[in-house]
Amino acid sequence: MQKSIFVFLSLLIFIVFPVIGQAASFGDRVNTMSKIEQIRISTADEKVRIVLDASKPVSYKTFVLSNPNRVAIDIKGAWLSPDIIKETLVDSSCVGKIRVRQFDADTVRVVIETNVSQNGYEIFSLPANANTSIYRIVFDFGDGQKNLPAVVEESPSTPIVPTVAIPNSVQPPIIPIPNAMKGIRGKTIVIDPGHGGSDSGAVGTKGIMEKNITLAISKQLQGLLTDAGAKVIMTRTSDVDVARPSAEAVEELQARVDVANRARADLFLSIHMDSFSSSDAKGTSTYYYAKGTPASQRLANLVRSGIIEQLGTEDRGTKTCNFYVVKHTTMPAALAEVAFVSNPGEGQLLNSIDGVKKAAQGIYNGICRYFQ
């Protein structure tokens, strides 16, 4: 079953990129596609505006579904940023749940539950502004949607933050580990195993779930840090939603932020596995909030290099982001995409005790260096 899906996806990629073909690297293919960076939602007077930010111009087609009534849009030649919020419940009389997912190798599908008639909504695209080079698709719901303010490049609450890789030249030197433990002693460290409970995170080959790997790595890391004298607080220690069973996405993320902020932690680290529609994608990346501190950037750099030393994974760089948990935590914070659960080799490695131990050791080494 999995194999047939894999073959299908491989064929699809071959059809979609006939010139480039299978010899093309992941990077080459992604360069031809538009990355859906984030989804922004604003409400005013029972009107709802949804804006998708894309890295390149996109073509799309819309259609309606019934029972419940939904408006759907397929964006061609696009891929979804791995940690975009995939499901949002809008508190409005005209729009319910909004879901976004990678529908196939080159299509991102957005489905919006709505009770408005065909005349009650409008969908249009906007070209990139010279400053941001972010393209936008705008959905306006509710009568009189034209009264909404003009779409701006940056809404005050959710700034558009293009992902930027840090050049290799600014990456920190590797510092030896011995005697590092004394810096960790007494520090309060919050570890956030990504996803859990009703949210499996990404699902890789052989049904390997991101939420299980992130928990295994986090528990291993908890042991290492505790042994070194740190006070470790976990946002979860079992397969549960942190906020409450089947919590909505933002509520769930806020619950994780609350754990760290209430503890006045010295450091927050969220642990994730990456995923992509092509099984070729692989490697390690870390993220910190684009308007965050140099300490967060340093933490992200050190955790990334620590993981790569241990796992031997490809270096995908430290990147800036707008992810909820690193944006809203008040201490130095980073998010690690340890490796790709969608890559058969990396998925299998991280689904093993050996892989989990190495990943945890790498993150631990990075944290040790951070506190030196």
121 φ, ψ (degrees, to nearest 5): -145, 165
Residue nearest to Zn ion (CB): 272
Nearer to Zn ion, 80 or 225 (CB): 80
Could you tell me the strand order of the sheet in which 47-54 lies? 78-80, 34-44, 47-54, 135-141, 121-126
Nearer to Zn ion, 24 or 221 (CB): 221
Residue closest to 232 by CA, chosen among 242, 241, 223? 223
**Least distance between Zn ion and beta carbon 342 (Å):** 12
Nearer to Zn ion, 70 or 256 (CB): 256
Residue closest to 344 by CA, chosen among 6, 1, 4? 6
**Least distance between Zn ion and beta carbon 212 (Å):** 12
Distance (Å) of CA 237 to CA 158, 192, 196, 233, 331: 31, 9, 10, 10, 22
Using CB under 5 A as the binding rule, the residues of this chain from 291 to 330 that contact Zn ion are none
**Least distance between Zn ion and beta carbon 105 (Å):** 20
Number of residues that bind Zn ion (CB under 5 A): 3
Stretch that binds Zn ion, among 40-48, 193-201, 342-350, 361-369 (CB under 5 A): 193-201
**Least distance between Zn ion and beta carbon 316 (Å):** 15
| Geometric angle at alpha carbon 320, from 317 and 322, rounded to 5° | 140
Tokens linked to 269: 């680290």
Stretch that binds Zn ion, among 24-32, 194-202, 262-270, 294-302 (CB under 5 A): 194-202
Question: 232 with 219: CB under 8 angstroms?
Answer: no
Tell me the C-alpha distance between 196 and 239, whole Å.
5
Using CB under 5 A as the binding rule, the residues of this chain from 252 to 281 that contact Zn ion are 272
**Least distance between Zn ion and beta carbon 296 (Å):** 18
Tokens linked to 139: 């959905």
Stretch that binds Zn ion, among 2-10, 22-30, 139-147, 188-196 (CB under 5 A): 188-196
**Least distance between Zn ion and beta carbon 215 (Å):** 12
180 φ, ψ (degrees, to nearest 5): -75, -20
Residue closest to 321 by CA, chosen among 130, 53, 131, 76? 53
Nearer to Zn ion, 51 or 338 (CB): 338
**Least distance between Zn ion and beta carbon 337 (Å):** 7
Using CB under 5 A as the binding rule, the residues of this chain from 199 to 238 that contact Zn ion are 201
Nearer to Zn ion, 252 or 280 (CB): 252
**Least distance between Zn ion and beta carbon 142 (Å):** 32
Nearer to Zn ion, 133 or 238 (CB): 238
Stretch that binds Zn ion, among 166-174, 187-195, 327-335, 364-372 (CB under 5 A): 187-195
Tokens linked to 70: 């939904």
**Least distance between Zn ion and beta carbon 307 (Å):** 15
DSSP per position, 188-255: EEEEEES-BTTB---B-GGG-BHHHHHHHHHHHHHHHHHHTT-EEEES-SSSS-SSSTT--HHHHHHH
Residue closest to 311 by CA, chosen among 343, 333, 276? 343
Residue 194 found at the interface with Zn ion (CB under 5 A): yes
Nearer to Zn ion, 121 or 324 (CB): 324
Interface characters, 120-149, with Zn ion (x: CB under 5 A): ------------------------------
Tell me the C-alpha distance between 82 and 99, whole Å.
14
Binding site for Zn ion (CB under 5 A): 194, 201, 272
